[in-house]
Amino acid sequence: MLYPESNECRMLTSLDGFWNFKVEEQPIDPAQPLANSITMAVPASFNDQVIDQQIRNHDGYFWYQTTFNVSKMQLAQRNVLRFGSVTHEATVYVNGKQVGHHQGGFTPFEIELDGQIHPGENDLKVRVSNLLSNKTIPIGKLTEENGNYHVDPNFDFFNYAGIHRPVKLYTTSRMAHIDEIVVKYDTDLKQTTVNPEVRVTGDFDQVVAEILDEDGNRIERVQGNSLNEIQKMVISDTHLWQPMNAYLYRLKISLLAEGELIDTYTQEFGIRKVEVKNAGIYVNDQPVYLKGFGRHEDFPIIGKGMNRAVINHDHQTMKWMHANAFRTSHYPYSEEEMQLADRDGFLVIDEVPAVGLYAGFSVSMMGQKAANTWKIMQTMDAHKQVIQETITRDQNHPSVIMWSVANEPASQQEGAHEYFKEITDYTRQLDWQHLPLVAPKIASATVDVDLTGDLFDVIALNRYYGWYIDFNDLAQAKSDLMTELRKWHQKFPDKPILFTEFGADTLSGMHSINREPYSEEYQHDYYQMNFDVFDQCDFVCGELLWNFADFATPAGLIRVDGNKKGIFTRDRQPKQIVYDLKKRWGNK
């Protein structure tokens, strides 16, 4: 699915703005006006826009409503309604009739409106659900009593919901339109051959493909009568996309009929090679050390809503700290953010929303009972769907260097290998680039009990020695961390080890002369201890801290106003550790 653009053949209208909103308490007729609604900004989570605890914490269904105008001229074209994401499930009604449905809160979907709209004002309603269960991705515990739902998320972030990303209406020609462009290429890092895979609906008699460089100069052009003929486009002196030094080409596809242009689309792409070998990660034949963060889409008031200023500020901050990487924990981030990552040159581990694949999950996982996750979860179909949608959406982004197919699954429990064999086979078969696969491992999946290490290219570890384990005992933590690391390396000597999480809750402004946990001093000592260990192990290929910023969680005994493992506060003010990290990464 293409990111919508306006051009000589396509019109684009934004439907973002103030919509009407209502919690579903009784069945609602989509053909009737939405009575007693309140105002809700789109895109954003609904939860923190309202001063109403019941709405904020409601589990179940919600209605959004707006209107949009269409001109007679626009109706001569094919009209498509597109949502960047609706979390977690959307049923869409236009002028009272159901026109589409999508399950999954972090990927785009679109609906053709042919025959559904008329000139003038049209009514648009979306019935949204924030329900999660052991069949959905991500996973929650769902209970229902007399039509009242309750969801306990199987993860450590607030279950924000709503229309989180932009809503757009765009047009294409009715005769033929481009549905998808996958910029496949082969490169020896000097010469590159581009073999685009283009999907078109409808009839045309000529297709033209052009490659433009960053200055807009055309460097290659091929044309033919069918899509098979726009192959083997050669870039003889390739300007590579490099980490933190991006270079983006554009591929422009145009369809013609009887000499007239009927559709065109321009797709950005970058050329780079990613490999895992010799216990390292290589980009363009150079080893890279990942420095950066696990993050969240999370900001006061807007929750998980896409906001370009917040995205840009976070990217500027990461660059200022000499970070070069982040993981989209724990779901694919907005398309707008991925486009900026391409331009900024970040190395991105693109994670699907498969978080919570652990029966009996609790935040600290302390005292957790042995459960049989792989008998309880019925997520295979939903899991494959999010992988397919994430790869389809993100495969043209040069910033994406790895797919993360799950966060902290119960990979030590019987059945894990079978489950992930199916998931990794499926992912590898979809991904023409053969990017490395990871699934960050939970602390209880130690090297002695983990069952899935052989299935992944990189051993990704979420480790909290000195916090959830060996709390307030950094000497013991250091020794335990070193022991576990050495064992992983012994078991998989050719696989690099990547720290996808490590961190300690820290209250901004809390100081302790005795360097107690939760103080900025303890956060400093905690990170120093981890770095001492990593720096002794050349098979460690990166450090992604948990977390870039404090973030909202459900209320909990060890969650005072959310998760405080940020090195920035939720509103992006630095904790003391930021300056040490900036220095370390500047030198590394």
Edge-to-edge strands of the sheet including 192-194? Answer: 185-187, 192-194, 233-235
- Is the CB of 87 or the CB of 264 nearer to ligand GCB? 87
Q: What backbone torsions phi and psi does residue 369 show, to the nearest 5 degrees?
A: -90, 150
Distance (Å, rounded) from C-alpha 427 to C-alpha 419? 13
Contact indicator for 389, 107 with CB cutoff of 8 Å: yes
Applying CB under 6 A, among 62, 93, 419, 546 the residue interacting with ligand GCB is 546
- List binders of ligand GCB among 495-534 (CB under 6 A): 501
Enclosing H/E stretch for 342? helix 335-344
Q: Is the dihedral of CA 526, 531, 537, 539 positive or negative?
A: positive
Distance (Å, rounded) from C-alpha 371 to C-alpha 361? 10
Contact indicator for 102, 192 with CB cutoff of 8 Å: no
Q: Does the annotation mark 408 as catalytic? A: yes
- Strand, coil or helix: what is 374? helix
Residue of 347, 344, 368 whose CA lies nearest to 358: 368
- Is the CB of 363 or the CB of 376 nearer to ligand GCB? 363
Find the catalytic residue in 268, 501, 521, 543.
501
x/- letters, 351..390, toward ligand GCB (CB under 6 A): ------------x---------------------------
Q: Does the annotation mark 501 as catalytic? A: yes
- Kindly state whether residue 297 participates in binding ligand GCB, applying the rule CB under 6 A: no
- Kindly state whether residue 291 participates in binding ligand GCB, applying the rule CB under 6 A: no
Find the catalytic residue in 408, 484, 521, 543.
408
- Strand, coil or helix: what is 582? helix
Query: What is the four-CA torsion angle of 412, 417, 421, 427, rounded to 10 degrees?
Result: -10
DSSP state of 407: B
C-beta atoms surrounding 404 within 10 Å: 27
Enclosing H/E stretch for 142? strand 140-145
x/- letters, 386..425, toward ligand GCB (CB under 6 A): ---------------------xx-----------------
x/- letters, 438..477, toward ligand GCB (CB under 6 A): ------------------------x---------------
Q: By rule CB under 6 A, what count of residues binds ligand GCB?
A: 10
Distance (Å, rounded) from C-alpha 444 to C-alpha 462? 10
**What is the number of the residue whose Cβ is closest to ligand GCB?**
156
- Kindly state whether residue 156 participates in binding ligand GCB, applying the rule CB under 6 A: yes
Residue 564 CB, shortest distance to ligand GCB, in Å, is: 9
- Is the CB of 267 or the CB of 407 nearer to ligand GCB? 407
Distance (Å, rounded) from C-alpha 415 to C-alpha 419? 6
- Is the CB of 43 or the CB of 566 nearer to ligand GCB? 566
- Is the CB of 2 or the CB of 355 nearer to ligand GCB? 355
Residue 320 CB, shortest distance to ligand GCB, in Å, is: 24
Residue 347 CB, shortest distance to ligand GCB, in Å, is: 20
Among all residues, which ones are annotated catalytic? 408, 501
Residue ranges in contact with ligand GCB by CB under 6 A: 155-156, 363, 407-408, 462, 501, 546, 563, 565
